[in-house]
Structure 1
């Protein structure tokens, strides 16, 4: 796919699996006098679908910052293993354009072995954590040519990152969102590869970040989305602009600090990642991270998910959800329960044929919670 980054033409990033979605959006944008806009549908891992409007310039600003972070040049070659209807894939085109380097695209159904083979002729790529787990599960070594694997769309546990690096994969954690045209903060990078931990990310220089009293992250900067487009019940498109001065108040909780002449970010969790159990406010992210670490130690082929479900007595109870191909959960839960208090014990396990996932591989948390609540 070729993009004219300087033209005023608009682009609607349609999912090939649902090409009818966004029908009429391009004509609507043109009628409103919009130009140079890219529209991406998003619901993340939760929430209702909507279209995010990003200026082409936003991708160029982001691409310049990411290229500088990884010292990308015309000597590099990107491997595109993410869909182009997501900003994680589309942003690679902007980075390659600015660096003057080529792009190889992995086509067809995701295959960790085909990906590893393609890495022999490329130097930079982006993946989601599920894909990194596939590389580790298949015990695939990283070809020498690949010098940086940017991981986004979710967080790696330290154990997953360590397992990938033991195979030579130079995985580097990033934090971003559709509204930011990809990355907001990224793990430090040196000529020797990633530096620091997966929870210590350097905020890219084009962003201004702050946190509210409740810990939610506020984002301002020139690469921020112009606004949202929703389809009303009657079928008409509705425009919801973002105020550049106020920026975007996210649903993400983060910790910010300044050191070594730059700002750093540690992602804590999403607003919906907190539940009440027997009156105690519980943060699910550390529990999920602990569960995934144990699953990796026990060589699970796919990661199980802790899902909260309403409970009349305790307010919330935890259900362990696995998918076809996972082993018996008994040994995993036995080790998990050794590290948590009695009220956090998992009292039910639910096996699905497959986790509900987006085309990017992210688990759709809202759909998963509905499945657990309905059964």
Structure 2
């Protein structure tokens, strides 16, 4: 890992932020934080970069917790994720602690090349983001024998795709986590049928819900601070005391040592005076139109309306009309927009870019007839 090779703070960032990362490392060194590791986070498109800070001991604790949770002390790992992302970096750290090897997928993501690498390397463990699993399923690519577990992070993998991946031999498991937790907080187990609820909390974490239902976590693997970039380009260091719990923006349900992610607390929108959850509507719509994305747009009368986006207008229109037949008025799809879904460099949905496309090209939106 880069932090094993270089003295001083190590800032892990994508190539287009290399100059920002150099400046961030110099700033942290001036603050006397030579032993910290920082991961740049994507945030919203166009927003100033920020980084989540860890001690090296904290990341070791996160890696050991994941190995213990999955019983992954034996067997090589395959890494199709960039090492500057916490998901990719933790693959190397887990393998290093277990004394096993990492086989990296070189170049751009290619599902067949990934499957070939898993086969030739004999790797038993790997991590993917949901869009990569979708590519494997759409390509009907069979998993090689001997694969033990594929951790899916960076977003929810829907039930249908997860089950299809399992049928192809890919032992995908849903995880829940974030950069601030050094990757995973809770992860399902590969011996269970594929599911996205009641994920098992990793052994090194304590979790609770605050009065609003948002997830809070505490443990020795937690972040120790954040490095924020101000509008003038200067850095602002935010310390996170070890005794403090970290509060997320995620609404969850906790049942003992099991966690179910419900939705983002900051995604609710008011339509016709009622709070509506676009993510819940999106989940329902995806059963009719896989890959569809639901976003809110301003509406002169209702305050906002839901827009279904995706590459096929015909499929979106049919699915939206079916949904609107039984949905309450505020939860109905008001219009559709045929468009490729923008993704971040990590293959995650880029909602900020999608909202910008909706604002800049209103003429691409097509009204959906409401049932009478």
Given the two structures, how large is their TM-score scaled by the length of structure 2? 0.90
Is the 1:58–1:222 Cα contact (8 Å) retained in structure 2?
yes
Does residue 341 of the first structure (1) align with residue 328 of the second (2)? yes
* Matching of residues 60-71 of structure 1 within 5 Å: 60-71=60-71
Is the 1:217–1:253 Cα contact (8 Å) retained in structure 2?
yes
**Residue of structure 1 in register with 2:364 after alignment:** none
In the superposition, relative to structure 1, how do residues 158 and 215 fare at CA in structure 2: closer, same or farther (>3 Å)?
A: same
Does residue 54 of the first structure (1) align with residue 42 of the second (2)? no
Determine helix, strand or coil for the equivalent of 1:175: strand
Does residue 142 of the first structure (1) align with residue 129 of the second (2)? no
* Matching of residues 1-375 of structure 1 within 5 Å: 1=1, 3-4=3-4, 9-44=8-43, 49-74=49-74, 76-120=75-119, 121-189=122-190, 193-195=191-193, 197-258=195-256, 263-296=257-290, 303-323=291-311, 328-352=315-339, 354-375=340-361
Is the 1:309–1:319 Cα contact (8 Å) retained in structure 2?
yes
Query: Which range is displaced more, 81-90 or 237-246?
Result: 237-246
For residues 169 and 45 of structure 1, the distance between their equivalents in structure 2, rounded to whole angstroms, comes to: 32
RMSD: 2.1
Larger fraction in helix? 2
Determine helix, strand or coil for the equivalent of 1:22: helix
In the superposition, relative to structure 1, how do residues 35 and 194 fare at CA in structure 2: closer, same or farther (>3 Å)?
A: farther
Shift of 1:2: 5.6
Deviation string, structure 1 residues 166-222 (Cα, Å, up to 9, x no partner): 111100000010011110011134xxx335621111111211111111111111111
Deviation string, structure 1 residues 108-141 (Cα, Å, up to 9, x no partner): 1111111111121211000011111111111111
Is the 1:40–1:87 Cα contact (8 Å) retained in structure 2?
yes
Determine helix, strand or coil for the equivalent of 2:114: helix
Gaps of 5+ in 1: 297-302
Given the two structures, how large is their TM-score scaled by the length of structure 1? 0.89
In the superposition, relative to structure 1, how do residues 291 and 328 fare at CA in structure 2: closer, same or farther (>3 Å)?
A: closer
For residues 219 and 43 of structure 1, the distance between their equivalents in structure 2, rounded to whole angstroms, comes to: 21
Is the 2:282–2:293 Cα contact (8 Å) retained in structure 1?
yes
Gaps of 5+ in 2: 362-372
Is the 1:10–1:37 Cα contact (8 Å) retained in structure 2?
yes
Determine helix, strand or coil for the equivalent of 1:370: helix
Is the 1:215–1:253 Cα contact (8 Å) retained in structure 2?
yes
Determine helix, strand or coil for the equivalent of 2:212: coil
Shift of 1:285: 2.1
For residues 235 and 341 of structure 1, the distance between their equivalents in structure 2, rounded to whole angstroms, comes to: 46
Is the 1:45–1:363 Cα contact (8 Å) retained in structure 2?
no
Is the 2:49–2:229 Cα contact (8 Å) retained in structure 1?
no
**Residue of structure 2 in register with 1:300 after alignment:** none
For residues 218 and 230 of structure 2, the distance between their equivalents in structure 1, rounded to whole angstroms, comes to: 28
For residues 134 and 350 of structure 2, the distance between their equivalents in structure 1, rounded to whole angstroms, comes to: 18
Deviation string, structure 1 residues 132-172 (Cα, Å, up to 9, x no partner): 11111111111112110000000111112111111111000
Query: Which range is displaced more, 303-312 or 337-346?
Result: 337-346
Is the 1:45–1:362 Cα contact (8 Å) retained in structure 2?
no
Q: How many residues align?
A: 358
